[in-house]
Every structure is written in structure tokens, then in C-alpha cells.
Amino acid sequence: MHQGADREADRRRRVPRTDAVLADPRLAGMTGRLGRSVVKDAVVRAQERARRGEIEPEDVPEAALAALPRRAATIRPVINMTGVLLHTNLGRAPLSPAAVEATVAAAGPADVEFDLATGARARRGRGALDALAAAVPDAEAVHVVNNNAAALVLVATTLAPGREIVISRGELVEIGDGFRIPDLLVSTGARLREVGTTNRTSLRDYREAVGPETGLVLKVHPSNFRVEGFTGGVEIADLTGLGVPVVADIGSGLLRREPLLPDEPDAASTLRAGADLVTASGDKLLGGPQAGLLLGRRDLVERCRRHPLARALRVDKLTLAALEATLRGPATPLDLALHADPAALLARATEMANALAGAGLDARAVRAGATVGGGGAPGVTLPSAAVSLPERFAVPLRTGDPPVVGRVEGGRLLLDVRAVPSWQDGEVLKAVLAVSA
């Protein structure tokens, strides 16, 4: 018993000091990447393990290194194999390589609001605004805020303070996580004048509601649901003669018509139809960073831009850089996934499934259906393909490194390949084989 106590005391004495471990070149290098406090916490935890006898004292530096996170931020990159292209919980649209490069370039001091030629102050984010204006020539002016809800709040606060916003009852939608359009609008101090019914609203309903107290008429695209059957609504073109601004929230950020999504409204067509202002998201079908796009009449956009609230809703330089690169750059990952060839997707899934089956796993390729997601194109199913595995793989893959997130159907885990670029197929195979070992 005395000898055991001596051994424990000896082990405790051999635990290296914190400063000595932090001086290890490997840990010193990680301090520059992760911060001293993060590295020191890992060292202290490793020392405690050594004192408890879980590891040898000389293994403390290795244990501390193994416990360090790969990045300073806790947000982890995920391989999205859910079959939902714009998965809200996974950050919606993945940025293009061009947008990522632009974001990194803008991370330090940048000419976001500075003219290098003259040395004077310049229009903030002029490159991104010019790119957005060029992408939607039907808009007389454009502005960018931090998301689509912010764009709606800015419009309502600017055009209808203490006044009425006329809106169809069928368009009083919930946009996710409990946030509802009517609550959002009322929070600005505007009053809602609801017209029509849930399934049918006529032009007469709008005409009878518009009056001296009307600030604007709002059309909200029900982007995350569909109403079918005995329904009726009013087109933008029919609302333009009511004598008040017509604002259209198209939601998904489609700038031009997309043949694959014929029922999804786009900014260009909506403006040509007569909308005075259009609001949309930047991180949905546009395939860019989170942003709220405001496009339309010059005088109305300028009023919104000059409102004091616009300052609180403005975007940072990283968003501006990513947005410009998205608009000017090559096809986005979202665009490539949307237009992927179903035959090529099945070939990829088959190759992956065969490789896994060759390693002794119960894997097979199956046809699947993907969706747009992110509150866009409800009811549209995109033909896709997936690797089918036993359901027991779902949790270890989701909690692995990198996390691979699929969906479970009929007791099987489906790893849908449509939202995954082909260069990541090897990573997926490694991840599956790692958790099966």
C-alpha cells in the first residue's frame, strides 16, 4: 500500500510543468493558430489525465495536441448528403471558390469604403452594388442589407411608418424558426390591413382596402408551401394602378428565370411586371452569402438607403466581397448541383457503393429525390442518386470528422450525392470506412 502511494506520488512529480509543455514547438505553433488559452486548457486537461494515471506523464504533450480543435471557431464544415440543396440548418448556399477567395482577400484592411486613386471616401461596397445592378438591369437602383427579413423591415419602416400595409391573408406566412411575416411587419410600427381569404384574394379586395392610410401593398411569395384547389390571387401587374408602391417579397433570390423552377418568381420578371420594389435573399437560389437584396425604383431605394435604420442593417466587407464574387464569378456550387445530370449522379453513387461493398459493407446505389430547400421551390423534386447504408451509420458519420450528414428513410441511411461536388467522393468513402472499422 505504501509502495502504491509512492508510485502515485512519483507519477505526479513526473507530470511536466505547464510552461514546459507549452514550450513544445508543436504546441507553440498551435498557439499562434488557436490562441494561448485554448492550447493551455488542453495542456491542463492532459496533465490532469496524467495525475489520474490515465496516461503516462511523458505523454502529456501528445495528449494535449490530440485534444486540440482543428480550428479556432467551433463551426465545423459538413458534407451535406441530405438531398436538400439549400439546407437552412447547414448554412444554406455553399460559397463558390471565387467567393471564398474574395472573402479571404477582404479579411484584412480593404478598400470597402475608400477610393485608392483619390484617397477620399467612396461609396461603400460599390463593386457588389454595381454587380447586382448589372445582374438585374430592370432595377433602377439596388441596396443590400443583412438578410431578406431586414430588407422587409427597412422597406416597411421607410414607406409605412404608422400607416397600413395591405397584404393578402393567404400571404401571412411563417418564414422559419417561428418568425412570421405579420409579426415582423407590425414590429416596425406599421399596421396590417389584411384582405381576401386564405385561399382566394381578388383585385377588388385590394381596391377597397387602399386609401389615404395605405403606405404600400405587399405581395409575399409563399416560397415554403403550396396551396392547391379552389384558389385565386392577384398578379403584380394588376396591382400597379392602385396609386401606392407595390412591394414584392420573392424570397428565394432568383434574379432571372430558371427553367427547372418555372413557378419560382425572379427579380427581373417581377420588376418588369410593375413591382416598385423587390426584396430577396442572397444565400438561397442566388448561391451567395446571407444578404437581403433590395431592387427597384430609384427614389424608393434611395429613401430606404438614407433611412437611419439602414445603418443598423448594413452588411460587412466580407459579405460584400462574397456577394460581388458570386454575381461576377463562375457558376456557384448551388447552380452546379441544381443542374447536375441525374445519370452522372447515379454513376457516382454506384462507384461509391461498389467500393464500399468491396470492403465488405452493406452498401448499394439507389435512385433518390432531392429538393431545393431553404424555403424555395416547394413541391419540386429533383431526380438524384444516393448511397444506401444501414441506419446504424447515421450517428457515427454525423459525429465524425468530417461530419457527413445524410437522411434516414425506411431503416436505411441515404447519402444523396446531388449537393456534393464529385471531388468530395473520396472524403465520403474515407469517412464511411473509418466509422465501419
Q: What percent of the chain has pLDDT over 70?
A: 95
Average pLDDT over residues 25-54: 93
Average pLDDT over residues 55-81: 93
Taking the CA atoms of residue 64, residue 65, residue 67 and residue 73 in that order, the dihedral angle to the nearest 10 degrees is: 120
**Higher confidence at residue 99 or residue 176?**
99
Domain extent for 272 = 96-330
**pLDDT level of residue 5 (50, 70, 90 thresholds):** low
| For residue 175, pLDDT beyond 80 | no
Tell me which of 175-179, 330-334, 430-434 is least confident: 175-179
User: Prior bond to 16 cis, omega within 30?
Assistant: no
| For residue 51, pLDDT beyond 80 | yes
Are 387 and 307 found together in one domain?
A: no
| For residue 244, pLDDT beyond 70 | yes
Are 246 and 325 found together in one domain?
A: yes
pLDDT of residue 192: 93
Are 340 and 325 found together in one domain?
A: no
Residue type, 245: P
**pLDDT level of residue 224 (50, 70, 90 thresholds):** low
pLDDT of residue 1: 47
Average pLDDT over residues 233-238: 90
β partners of residue 217:
166, 246
pLDDT of residue 280: 95
pLDDT of residue 198: 77
Average pLDDT over residues 16-31: 93
Task: Give yes or no for a contact between 150 and 137, defined as CB atoms under 8 angstroms apart.
Answer: no
Task: Give yes or no for a contact between 375 and 284, defined as CB atoms under 8 angstroms apart.
Answer: yes
Q: What is the torsional sign of CA 176, 180, 185, 187?
A: negative
pLDDT of residue 173: 78
Are 260 and 298 found together in one domain?
A: yes
Q: What percent of the chain has pLDDT over 90?
A: 82
pLDDT by residue (tens digit) across 326-384?
A: 999 999 999 999 999 999 999 999 999 999 999 999 999 999 999 999 877 878 899 99
Burial grade of 86 (CB within 10 A; 0-12, 13-18, 19 or more):
buried
pLDDT by residue (tens digit) across 12-23?
A: 788 999 999 999
Are 44 and 165 found together in one domain?
A: no
Q: How many domains does the chain have?
A: 3
Are 345 and 317 found together in one domain?
A: no
Are 119 and 226 found together in one domain?
A: yes
Are 228 and 133 found together in one domain?
A: yes
pLDDT of residue 59: 94
How many whole angstroms separate alpha carbon 391 and alpha carbon 414? 8
| For residue 153, pLDDT beyond 90 | yes
Are 377 and 312 found together in one domain?
A: no
Average pLDDT over residues 101-128: 96
Task: Share the mean pLDDT of the chain.
Answer: 93
| For residue 216, pLDDT beyond 70 | yes
Task: Give yes or no for a contact between 39 and 32, defined as CB atoms under 8 angstroms apart.
Answer: no
How many whole angstroms separate alpha carbon 300 and alpha carbon 139? 11
Average pLDDT over residues 131-150: 97
Domain boundary among 310, 330, 350: 330
- The answer as to whether 74 is a domain residue is no
